Amino acid sequence: MPDFYGLAELQLHTNGRQLELDMHARDLRAGLTRALVAARNAKKLKTSNEDIAHRVTLLDEKKIAQHLEKLSKELQHRDLHRGAFCIFGGVKNQGRDMSRPHFERDDGAWFDFSITVREVGDRLELLAYDFEIRFAPGMGSPFLRFDLNLPDHRNQDRELRCHLHPGSDDILVPAPLMSPSEVLWLFIEGARLPGNRAAPRTPTSFEVKWLERSFERYALQQKAAGTTPGS
């Protein structure tokens, strides 16, 4: 059995995958919009075509500097700001507030995304993305988030530039590098209850007890936060 020194080889292999991308950011935006509209027309999304058109937005380098100061500084620090674009599908929402713009599936799941790309000559370079989907109760996981961090992000030192959060912001596991269109397809067509199953599986006693203990721990944390200054 080979010695285990981390996930560097896996990261190199995964992140080195050649993706098929559009030549221009506006074309990528248009393709994602078409996929969402097609899903709406197929009744797999509840979000209206009008809302889809409004919620898929494109920011160029100047607008990134105006509206996304932190990202703009990170891109400049890496000398990646020239020709950079951001595509938003809804609003980044790690607070998971349903009142913020998002896309809703026919089964109650809802998602949003953000993508950072750069036009380099006649090709489009994928720099980062953040796709998160939240599920209806009983689906086994509250959410999934697929992240691709910017190059030289601190997660890269942990060999986890491209990773998945499986229902927890604190847990990161390696994930395959995917194109934005592939992740969007997964959110629209995949990550659903299998067609041969009428209802979600019944939670095991372990899962039920885990939830109960999680609630107990959360209540204790909230109590401590309310009684301990500065916590």
* pLDDT tens profile 92-114: 898 999 999 999 999 999 999 99
DSSP 124: E
- 3-state SS assignment for residue 134: strand
pLDDT given for residue 230 in this prediction: 45
Answer yes or no: do 26 and 127 share one domain. Answer: yes
* Mean pLDDT, range 145-166, rounded to an integer: 82
Q: Is residue 145 part of a domain?
A: yes
Q: Which of 97, 90, 133 is nearest to 115 (CA)?
A: 90
* pLDDT tens profile 186-230: 999 999 887 777 777 888 999 999 999 999 998 998 888 876 544
In this prediction the pTM is 0.88
Answer yes or no: do 46 and 137 share one domain. Answer: yes
Which residues form the domain of 152?
13-199
Q: Which of 193, 194, 134, 140 is nearest to 169 (CA)?
A: 134
Residues 6 or more apart whose CB falls under 8 angstroms from that of 24 comprise 119, 124
Structure tokens at 202: 């019944």
Q: Is residue 146 part of a domain?
A: yes
Number of domains observed in the structure of the chain: 2
Going along the chain, which residue ranges are E strands? 56-59, 84-89, 103-104, 110-120, 123-134, 143-148, 162-165, 173-174
Q: Is residue 4 part of a domain?
A: no
Answer yes or no: do 31 and 132 share one domain. Answer: yes
pLDDT given for residue 43 in this prediction: 97
8-22, 64-78, 82-96, 131-145 — which is least confidently predicted?
A: 8-22
| Cα–Cα dist 51/76, whole Å | 32
